[in-house]
Structure 1
Amino acid sequence: MSGMYPPGDPRPSPTINAGKLWAGGAATAAVAALIAIAGLLLGRGLFGVDVLAPKGEGTWGDASTGWYALGAALAALAATGLIHVLILTTPRPMRFFGWVVALATVVAMLAPFVTDESLGSRMYTAGLNFVLGMAIGSLVAGTAKTAVIPVVVRPAPRPRPGQYG
């Protein structure tokens, strides 16, 4: 493929519709926050398990519910920032993004197991973190794929036969 680009010219970088990417990131943040809230309500209300924090007042809980939802939203925005940087700077950005999201999800799933909470609480929290990781990863990746503006590479015109002599 070396003949495809002029000598000394770097391979063209893709461009990105940043507005579209970040609008999708904001929507993903809202979805992640709602998943976190629904997961907390389900865990505390239906299964009676604590999710990373004590239950507090009733099923809804205290400020920890808001902090958990905020953390999920911030994770979605961080993932959006990561994919934006990866698209602009790395080869195969979606592959690197997939690895980072997968490993971050594994870390989030393992984090509850360093607490002294009950096994049920740790398992439920790990499951909720898995759902959040999958939702954030898939939604941000899908948005990024639609926000990338493909680079059109036009080959240099070939000389017509007899044009140069």
Structure 2
Amino acid sequence: MSSTFPPAPSDKKELEASGAFTPKFDAHGLVTAVITDIKDGELLMVAHMNAQALTLTLETGIAHYYSRSRDKIWKKGETSGNLQTVQEIRVDCDQDAIWLKVSVAGHDATCHTGRRSCFYRTVSLQDGKAVTTITDDTRHFDPEETYGSQPGKE
């Protein structure tokens, strides 16, 4: 499979039906990917994929993303051992968002902080200001040991 996908059909009914997978990439060549755990539906992370990352994911069954901060493809879990094996890929009605249902190897953690999910904080108003509160402080691995001086580089 190449890193190119066919153009979206001009007919909305055709786009929304079964048939060609025609992801709608944004102006930067990216599509949003929402990642959940296949076992319990826990939201693990949100990332971006370019055509190459999406192609690698489809071909290998291992989740690949595009890192905007590093401007390169990243195989999730390659450093930590927490590889994400894709069990199912869904696409929304206009094909501009992808949903990956994955199983996570290794420590069963997705976040570079060592937590299971990147969504470990809640947001609320306190004294008229938005603040975050950690609601899951369980670390499944030590980020310092795993990444050394490069935390968050997974």
TM-score of the superposed pair, with normalisation by structure 1: 0.25
Higher strand share: 2
Higher helix share: 1
